Chains A and B, each alone.
Chain A
Amino acid sequence: MTGPQRATERWGTALENALLVLLLGAMIVLATAQIVLRIGFDRGLIWADELLKILVLWVALVGSVATSRGRRHLRIDLLSHYLPERYARLPVLIVDGFAAIVCGFVAWHSARYVLLTVEFGDTVLVGVPAWLVQGVLPVAFALMAYRFGLYWLKGLLDLFRRGPMGPPP
């Protein structure tokens, strides 16, 4: 890995962590505050439930971006358990490329959708523009496309350098 690559890796991970800590922390605080209000004062914040659900959406997407680091998404994990690394190289290359393309498609079409909601002036919560909340969707899938694309590129270089069944690095 080159210097700039390592720097993006470090800063990217730090940013993911900061976001996850923030989102999860907000979720805990908001949810317990709601309970205290309900039990202690017999009332609740009208927007709190909606915000909590939005936080879940964000945690899901940011968490999924973080999961793509190190390829930790749920999958049918046959090859890595039963094939030696060198034989699994080609299949891994194929599925990384596939995942990058699919994520790219989802990012593209959800960006189109979000732009449409900007046009219509959709809002969520109390007058917050919807794109602020929904914008996470294209961004997250674009980041995953980028991540899988990087893995694919790395795999491809490896393949050229060592051949499809050459010795492990």
Chain B
Amino acid sequence: MILASVLLVLLAVLGAPLFAIIAASAMLGYQQQGIDLMAIAIEILGLAEMPFLSAIPLFTFAGYLLSESGAPQRLVRLTGAVIGWVPGGLALVALAACAFFTAFTGASGITIIALGAILYPALKHDGYPDDFNLGLVTSSGSLGLLFAPSLPLILYGVIAKVPIDDLFRAGILPGLLMLLMLSGWSLWVNRRNRTPAREFSLRQVRVALRESIWELPLPVVVLGGIYSGFFAVSEAAAVTALYVLIVEVAVLRDVKVSELPRIMRESMLLVGAILIILGVSLASTNYMIDAGVPQQLLGLVADLVSSQTSFLLLLLLFLLVLGAILDIFSAIVLVVPLILPIAAQYDVSQIHLGIVFLAAMQLGYLTPPVGLNLFIASYRFDKSILDVCRATFPFLVILLLSVIAITFWPQLSLMLVG
């Protein structure tokens, strides 16, 4: 069994699809316990028993469709008109627009492609240093995943069986903290380049507002609907998908009908990749819980730490390592069921655990060896990975500080949860 586990880890490092690794480990576990391997079918079919799961394909599709439309440009223009007059404003515009866009498109690297392509040249044009721009755009690509309705939040809610609207509330302040700290850093770095991106003009704001008139109701309806309890998260996702479809295809005609099958396919590739891992890990998780893995882990942890604070420290270190090798979706699906019972022993609320988990995994987008944003930015802006890493490093440090604050200040996450 140990030999088989080592072999599976080796295969994973060689780049085997994670769902195959997980399926194999579940089947090996069944085999050992004398359970009929048919059980894996029953577990995967459990995908059809999970509440709210339809929110994931629907929000993902809406996000992909938005990113293919003119919405990114309109978002940048609107943010620019509203806060571009602040000295160093364009950097703030980039941060705010990216955070907003990432929340709506899931954290799949799409932000760097859709918004980075607009912001990177604009920043350069306004005289910001190249390294700063590269780092800013790369690290902004996953900023905002603590804001509703981001996919990782929904996935955590489904898996931990925590009310998703509670998570959406809990993410607000920690997400704002990250945004504020990065904004502060950006302003400080560019303290010599204090030229505002533009003068404030009410007319500009009005033009930008009119231009975005069709997309403006979206956050209001979605966030308002969810926070007020009027919509369940899956309903909000359906409304978003239908609304974005009508607006971008029929009203604004940013996207041609003939392009829809390609966009639908692209978005469902991500969904298929996430949900298949969820399906097979339903099997492996159940097997591990039957085999008492969480208890063994708890025993192990109990030897190391005794207080909540030291547990959180250990958790944070673990998550940072995890984030460096595993993508956020696989990490949530695989690891959350195992650490939930342990966190409960140390009185860490499931909601706070979720926010810490996602915040720490956000850093994983920026850490070598497999940080997704590093590769997307390197590819998109034609820079070497090493250059991107170096440029991103200061932002990574700032984000790490914010994650530390989020971890050891539970009230920040729990304040807004009723």
Contacts and interface: CB of A to CB of B under 8 A. Distances in A.
Interface of A: 16-18, 20-21, 24, 27-28, 31-32, 34-35, 52-57, 59-68, 71-82, 91-92, 94-95, 98-99, 102-103, 105-106, 109-110, 112-114, 116, 133-134, 137-138
A133 to B, nearest CB: 8
B254 interface: no
B274 interface: yes
B15 A95 contact: yes
A74 B279 contact: no
Interface in B220-276: 231, 234-235, 237-239, 241-242, 245, 260-262, 264-265, 268-269, 271-276
Contact of A31 (B27, B45, B234): B234
Interface residues of B, number: 66
Nearest to B234: A31
Given A76-B18, A94-B14, A24 B273 contact: no
B289 interface: no
B272 A98 contact: no
A17 B27 contact: no
B53 interface: yes
18 contacts: A24-B57, A28-B58, A31-B54, A34-B235, A53-B50, A56-B47, A56-B56, A59-B268, A60-B278, A61-B276, A62-B272, A74-B18, A75-B18, A77-B375, A95-B15, A105-B37, A106-B40, A133-B48
Nearest to A109: B37
Chain A residues touching B, majority SS: helix
B272 A63 contact: yes
A133 B274 CA distance: 21
A54 B48 contact: yes
A11 to B, nearest CB: 15
Interface stretch (B114-122, B325-333, B402-410): B325-333
B40 A110 contact: yes
Nearest to A59: B57
Nearest to B37: A109
B339 interface: no
A91 B14 contact: yes
B272 A59 contact: yes
Nearest to B328: A74
Contact of B38 (A35, A75, A110, A133): A110
Contacts of A82: 369
Nearest to B17: A73
Contacts of A17: 261-262, 264-265
Which 4 A-B pairs rank lowest in CB-CB distance, beginning with the nearest?
A: A63-B272, A31-B238, A60-B275, A110-B41
Contact of A73 (B18, B262, B370): B18
Contacts of A114: 41
Contact of B269 (A67, A91, A102, A109): A67
Chain B residues touching A, majority SS: helix
A32 B238 contact: yes
Contacts of A92: 15
Nearest to B44: A137
A32 B57 contact: no
Given A52-B54, A56-B54, A74-B273, A66 B268 contact: yes
Contacts of B327: 74
Given A35-B231, A64-B273, 18 more contacts: A24-B268, A27-B58, A28-B242, A35-B235, A53-B50, A57-B47, A57-B48, A60-B278, A63-B268, A63-B276, A66-B269, A74-B273, A75-B15, A91-B15, A99-B17, A103-B20, A109-B36, A133-B48
Interface in B67-126: none
B411 to A, nearest CB: 34
Contacts of A99: 16-17, 20
Nearest to B262: A17
A32 B262 CA distance: 23
Contacts of A59: 57, 268, 271-272, 275
Nearest to A114: B41
Contacts of A74: 17-19, 273-274, 277, 327, 329-330
B238 to A, nearest CB: 3
Given A56-B275, A60-B275, A62-B272, A31 B42 contact: no
A62 B49 CA distance: 18
